[in-house]
Each structure stands twice: as C-alpha cells, then as structure tokens.
C-alpha cells in the first residue's frame, strides 16, 4: 500500500488535476448549498472550487446521492401513436463516466457497504458503484452528534474507501487502498509519507474511538415482537411529525418509489428516494393501510434499522453519522431510541 504526504496546496492541486478528466464532487463550502442539480445539497463539483477544508462531521446529505441518484431513469418509451415501438419499454444507456467523490467520511463509506447488501443484484446501484472512486477523509474530531463507534465503525476507518486522507498537524497523509485509488495517483509526482507521518497516523488510529458494537449487539438477540410491542413507540410516535427529513439525509435509508413521467409523448420510468414516514408508502388501493398510524411509521423506521435489517443481512442499517439527530425538527435522537430499546423487558 502506498502512502503519500500532501500539503494543503498539493491536495487542492490534486483535486483540480482529477477534475480535468473526471467529474469530481466535494462537500460544499458552507455545508448547505449546492450549485448543481446532479447531487444533493451539501455537495458541489470540485472544479474551480476553493481549498478543500472540511468542517467536522459528514456533509449535509449523504453519499447515496452519487450511488443512488434521484431520479434514476429505469426505462424510456414513446407514447406517440406514429411510433411502431409505441409503449415499448427500453433500457436507457447506462452512465459509465467516472465520478470521484472527495471528502466523504468513514461513516458514509461504510453506508455504501451496508446498502450493497440488499443492492448486490441491483443493476443501477452496481453500475454507479463501479464508476465511483471514493476519496475519504478520516475524522480528527467527532461531532456531538457522531456515534459511528457505537455502530461498529470508527472515525479513522477506511472500509469502503479507495483513498483515505488523514489530516495531521501540518500536512495530510493519503493511504491508497485499492486499484482504483492507485489509478488516481499513478504517474503523479507525489511525495511518499515520512516515517514520522506513518508513526503519527498509527498513533491516531490507536487513540481514536474504536468500533464497539457490543452494547448494541445484544439487541440482535432480543425478541422482535417484544421490541415491536414496546410502549416507547407510542411516545415517540406522538413527537414525530413524519416529515421524512431523517430518511432523506440518512445514508442507509435505501427504499425507493417508481413513477412514470411523460412529456410530449416521450416517457420515462424513474425511481427516486421514498420514505416510510409517508402514509402513501404503504397505502393499498382499497384504502386499507397496514401502517395507517403515525406511530406505526415511526416505529417502522427504527425497527427497520435496528431489527429488521440485521435479521435479514447481519449488521445494523445505521452508521452513526448523526445527520438525523442534527436535522430532526422535533429532536428525536436515535441514540436515545437505542438506549430505550435496550431497557425493554
């Protein structure tokens, strides 16, 4: 594995170098805005952007915007009566252009791996995964809302990254972890990391909070129906306004809706992010709704992350990025939900 040492200027030059041949995205300066329609708020194209300095914590919205873009065109068709192929659904040309995501945090990198459990056979997700190179930034500090260590991650984790960049006191070290990462750095005049850099990196990795899933793992052994019937959902459901903000910013919420869209006889079938917080999500055409109550929908989101997903795939469907904790308008905190669930008898 190659490890390079970069100054701030060298790092910025490297990003601009990549921008010449590929589409490069980075967390938007100021965290909120996005000047481009091809990614969610919180990210921007790196071309001509300023120095790559990141605020602590993850970007405003998650990396799923690049692997699971919305809308994603699933099929196209013509509805023109003169067209012999009228109403024939066709697969669109798949995007193959390389995209480089710079500045995602270890939590987001881990979310890509988790979503890949259900999406292993999904052609769109896999195509996007195949054309995306991830250059992550490890975390120097954890925000007050961060809890990746409790979910089995770590602020210094490199899982899922092609290149992991760590900010040291006076420089950056870039660990090249995969062939895709090597391709990005091949032929460039980069200084190898000094012995002191490597020592500092090792020390950082040793001193940072370590993955500790032990407390939560006891949830996996608990009876599903007991947790489902726990009284805590009632109170939680009363606070939750089902706005769905948590599901949109969540890196591991992966459900989608499919709709048809026709403009002047040209149609396409698209998929885009949905939210189990919305009553329409589960509504039958008969009018019957299996999750017709607000509380049932709130419960479904937490149970999916903490019980249903682990039961199907193993790990929890949460990486502890803390975005939902930051953005919930009624201050629902998944860490408190977890603590409460752990006490359910």
Partner 1 sequence: MISYLPYPVRIDDITVETEDGNLKTFKLVFENEAQQKAWKHVPGQFAMLSLAGQGEIPIGIASSPTEQGHLLFTVNRAGKVTTALHQMHAGERIGVRGPLGNGFPIDTEMKGKNIVIIAGGFAVTTLRATLIYLMEHRQDYGKITFIYGARTPGMLLYQNELQEWAKRDDVELHITVDREAPGWNGLVGFVPTIAGQVAPSPENSVALICGPPIMIKFTMPPLEKIGWTDDQVYLSLENRMKCGEGLCCHCNVGPTLVCKDGPVFTRAQVRRLPVEY
| Sites of contact with partner 1 (CB under 8 A) | 74-75, 77, 79, 86-91, 118-119, 121-123, 126, 224-225, 228, 254-260, 262, 267, 269, 271, 274, 276, 281-286, 290-291, 296, 300, 303-304, 307-309, 311-312
In angstroms, what is the minimal distance from the CB of 277 to partner 1?
A: 12
75 vs 242, beta carbon nearer partner 1: 75
Q: Which residues contact 319 (CB under 8 A, 6 or more apart)?
A: 107, 108, 110, 111, 114, 148, 151, 153, 251, 252
Backbone angles phi, psi at 81, to 5 degrees: -65, -20
Give me the least distance between CB of 257 and partner 1, in Å please: 6
Nearest to 280 by CA among 272, 290, 270, 271: 290
Q: Which residues contact 252 (CB under 8 A, 6 or more apart)?
A: 111, 114, 115, 305, 317, 318, 319
Nearer to partner 1, 47 or 126 (CB): 126
Q: Which is nearer to partner 1, 260 or 336 (CB)?
A: 260
Cβ-based nearer residue to partner 1, 130 or 329: 130
Which ranges of 178-231 would DSSP assign to H, the alpha helix?
A: 179-185, 195-207, 214-221, 224-228
Whose Cβ is closer to partner 1: residue 239's or residue 272's? 272
Q: How far is the CB of 152 from partner 1 (least distance, A)?
A: 19
Q: How far apart are CA 253 and CA 134, in angstroms?
A: 20
Whichever of 121 and 169 has its CB closer to partner 1, that residue is: 121
Q: Shortest approach of partner 1 to residue 1 CB, angstroms?
A: 31
Pick the closer one to partner 1 by CB: 11 or 318.
Answer: 318
DSSP 94-131: PP---EEEEEE-HHHHHHHHHHTTGGGG-HHHHHHHHT
Q: Is 202 helix (H, G, I), strand (E, B) or coil?
A: helix
Cβ at position 286, least distance to partner 1 in Å = 7
334-342 helix and 232-239 helix, angle to the nearest 10 degrees = 170
Cβ proximity to partner 1: between 174 and 303 the closer is: 303
Residue 134: helix, strand or coil by DSSP?
A: strand
Whose structure tokens read 């690049």? 66
Query: Please, which residues have CB within 8 angstroms of residue 225's CB and are 6 or more apart in sequence?
Result: none
Nearer CB in complex with partner 1: 74/190: 74
Token pair, residue 120, equals 């292993």
CB of 55 to partner 1, least distance (A): 32
Of 114, 116, 136, the residue nearest 126 (C-alpha)? 116
163 vs 173: CA distance, rounded Å: 10
Shortest approach of partner 1 to residue 299 CB, angstroms?
A: 9
Closest approach of Cβ 83 to partner 1, in Å?
A: 11
Residue 195, token pair as written in the block: 């012995």
Least Å from the CB of residue 148 to partner 1: 24
């Amino acid at each position: 594995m190659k490890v390079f040492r970069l100054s701030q200027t060298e790092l910025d030059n490297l990003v601009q170098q990549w921008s010449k041949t590929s589409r490069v995205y980075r967390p938007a300066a100021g965290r909120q805005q996005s000047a481009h329609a091809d990614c969610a708020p919180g990210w921007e194209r790196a071309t001509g952007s300023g120095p790559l300095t990141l605020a602590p914590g993850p970007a405003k919205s998650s990396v799923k915007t690049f692997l699971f873009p919305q809308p994603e065109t699933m099929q196209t068709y013509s509805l023109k009566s003169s067209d012999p192929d009228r109403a024939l659904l066709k697969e669109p040309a798949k995007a193959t252009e390389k995209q480089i995501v710079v500045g995602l945090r270890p939590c987001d990198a881990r979310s890509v791996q988790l979503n890949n459990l259900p999406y292993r056979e999904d052609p769109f997700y896999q195509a996007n995964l195949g054309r995306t190179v991830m250059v992550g930034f490890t975390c120097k500090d954890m925000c007050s809302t961060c809890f990746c260590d409790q979910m089995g991650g770590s602020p210094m984790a490199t899982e899922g990254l092609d290149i992991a960049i760590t900010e040291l006191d006076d420089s950056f070290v870039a660990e090249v972890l995969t062939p895709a990462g090597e391709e990005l750095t091949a032929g460039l005049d980069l200084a190898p990391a000094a012995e002191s850099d490597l020592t500092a990196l090792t020390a950082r990795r040793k001193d940072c909070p370590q993955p500790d899933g032990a407390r939560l793992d006891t949830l996996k052994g608990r009876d599903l129906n007991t947790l489902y019937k726990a009284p805590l959902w009632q109170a939680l459901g009363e606070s939750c306004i089902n706005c769905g903000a948590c599901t949109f910013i969540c890196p591991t919420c992966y459900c989608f809706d499919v709709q048809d869209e026709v403009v002047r006889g040209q149609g396409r079938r698209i998929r885009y992010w949905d939210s189990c917080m919305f009553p329409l999500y589960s509504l039958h055409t008969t009018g019957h709704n299996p999750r017709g109550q607000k509380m049932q929908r709130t419960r479904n989101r937490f149970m999916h992350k903490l019980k249903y997903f682990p039961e199907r795939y193993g790990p929890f469907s949460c990486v502890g990025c803390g975005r939902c904790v930051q953005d919930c308008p009624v201050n629902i905190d998944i860490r408190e939900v977890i603590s409460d669930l752990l006490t359910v008898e």
